[in-house]
Every structure is written in structure tokens, then in C-alpha cells.
Amino acid sequence: MKIVLASTYGFCFGVKRAIKIAEENPGSKTYGPLIHNKDEINRLQEGFNIGLANGLDDVKDNDSVVIRTHGIPKKELEALKSQETTIIDATCPYVTTPQKIVQHMSEKGYSIVIFGDKNHPEIKGVVSYAKNLKDAFIVLDEQELEALPLKSKVAVVAQTTRKPEDFLKITSALILKHKEVRIFNTICNATFENQDAASDLAQKADVMIVIGGKHSSNTKQLHSICKHKCNDSYLIENEQELSQEWFNNKALCGISAGASTPDWIVQNVIDKIRTLTQL
């Protein structure tokens, strides 16, 4: 069986930057999981003594605290700054952009619409920058817009890992109903590229393996895209989740990986697939 990697996959700029920051600050704590990949987090814990603070109560005086790639709510960041701690900000620059936009546009009196998952840490951080939280709304589709008490002036941003075509549906619906709509495309370029590459490969593959954290938004999006093009598409976190039966009577196995998936995990998966298909 032939194994083919997507033309682009794996670590994005923001994740590479965050991991480098963590490695350069051994003994520090990350505020929330640094990235959505438990195997890589374990590597940082074991190799660099990187701890984990799940909230303010886990942060002590004189701690060095690394802010996660997804960012954190504004009030929590301000609380950390008020303590005797050293703060090292590893928030992805593509995430700080919508934070700044939300703050600026809400100060100018716009209603804020955020396309994304309200339970995702990135979105929890972004919405917290609104001047008035009553004028900031998080939606997952255009139908949710209908019940919102929006002003005539609306500013809209997107979670960095969302599908562009879904963002377009929301912006189109807003344009039809509101006097002024300011659209800020905050979807990350790496997301575009990985999704397009995965889609292209899935069309040719007999079986598609998507590697990444089960809680990773961009990885789940990749899997959804692949599943649409190749029904035998599977989302795994590491090689231990592979099943030999997935590869029976398959000629081409495609592989993609989420933005929080390191190359060493991808290689482990490739090696395991080769072992399974040679048995």
C-alpha cells in the first residue's frame, strides 16, 4: 500500500513559536494547555519541566507563566499581571488580531459578531475584549443571527480555524440586513492551506488518516473535510489508535495532521501503518 502525505500539514507558525517559547523557559507553567496535543504537552513536561496551571489558583508568586497559543480572557490576563509573576505571552499573533479588532470596534459602538465555538478557549479570549459583552455575540451558523439584537453597525470576525465558506455565509447574511457591516477575515492562512491540501489528497485516497488532538478545532475541521471526500477517513491522536482493518484492500493511504501535531507523531503513525500493512 502506498502512503502519501498532504502537501501541507502539521505545525503552524503559531504552534512552532509557542513550543519554542516553552522550550526556552524550562520550569515555567503554561496557563491552560499550551496546544491541543497531549503527547506534545507530555514531551514538554518530561523534557523541559513545563507545568500546567488550569486557573489563577494554580499560579503562585514568582512563577513564570506562559500564555497558551489560544490566548486567555482579558480579565484573567490582567489578574496575572497584578501578581508577582513573570508573564511570557505565547498567544498566536493570528489570535491576538481578532482580540484587538473586537476591542477597537466595540469601543467605536459596533455590535460584535464572532463566528466560532463559544466553548473554545480562543473564542473565550476573543469575546472578552468587547467593551460591552451584551453587544458581543458568538454564532456557529447564519440561522443564529436571526434572533440577535444587533445594532445597525456590525463588525464580524472569525475563529482562526473555521472554514472560509461557512464564514462567507454569515457575512453575506449580515450584509443583507444591516446598514454597515465591517468584515475582518481572521481565519489563518495555514488553515486554508492545510484544508485545501487535505481535501485534494482525500479525493485520491482509499483511506485517509488525520492526526491531531480530539479537542483541536482545526483537526476536527480537517477530518470533516476529508470525510466528505473519502468515507474511510479516521481521526487519531497517535499511532496506538490505528486499526489494521482500516487498511484491508486499500491501495492509497493519505495522511494529514492538525496544526498542533508534531512531525515525530506523524512519523510514528507512518511507521505503524507500514508495520500493520506488512503483517
Taken in order of first residue, the domains within the chain and their CATH numbers are 2-9+189-278 (3.40.1010.20), 13-91 (3.40.50.11270), 94-183 (3.40.1010.20)
Average pLDDT by stretches of 10, the chain with 279 residues? 95 93 97 94 97 95 95 96 94 96 98 97 98 96 95 96 92 95 94 92 98 90 96 97 96 96 96 90
DSSP 8-state secondary structure symbol assigned to residue 206: S
Residues annotated as catalytic (active site), given as ranges:
122
| Model confidence pTM above 0.85 | yes
Here the cell at position 1 is 500500500
Neighbours of 109 (CB within 10 A): 12
Q: What is the CA radius of gyration of the chain?
A: 20
E strand residue ranges, the chain: 2-5, 29-31, 51-53, 64-67, 86-89, 111-115, 136-139, 153-158, 180-183, 207-211, 233-236, 252-257
